[in-house]
Amino acid sequence: MDNSPVIFFDGVCNLCNSTVDFIIRHDTQHHFKFAALQSDVATRLLPDSTRELDTVVLWENGIAYAYSEAALRIAAKLFPFGNVFLGFLIVPKFLRDGIYRWIASNRYRWFGKANSCRLPTPEEQSRFL
């Protein structure tokens, strides 16, 4: 595995899969790799506390970022002037994560759930672990 940051996501969550599709479209530099939280890679790399299915996890330089911090760090790398998103880290974590967890707790109801994990297309295969 190379040193690319890895985004771990709930592979059966339709919102999560749509978010991965969005990131792939906007990550023109192919900065990120992807893996489902249900994968063997997640089991090997992530501590048990960050393998919860109610969060996206950004694994970067041996550090696992979860919930709102992961989302903000991902956004910061996707867009020109994306570091603006890091400014939201000054918002107290309990507020940021509270909003994140509220959306996460309703995501299956609002967006649905797939029967199996998302499979990459042949063009995306190199981006998935």
Q: Which amino acid is at 42?
A: A
Q: Is the pLDDT of residue 1 over 60?
A: no
Residues 6+ apart with CB under 8 A from 83: 76
Percent of the chain with pLDDT over 70: 95
User: What pLDDT is attached to residue 65?
Assistant: 93
Q: Is the pLDDT of residue 79 over 70?
A: yes
pLDDT level of residue 113 (50, 70, 90 thresholds): confident
Strand order in the sheet with 6-9: 33-36, 6-9, 57-60, 63-66
pLDDT level of residue 49 (50, 70, 90 thresholds): low
User: What pLDDT is attached to residue 68?
Assistant: 94
pLDDT level of residue 52 (50, 70, 90 thresholds): low
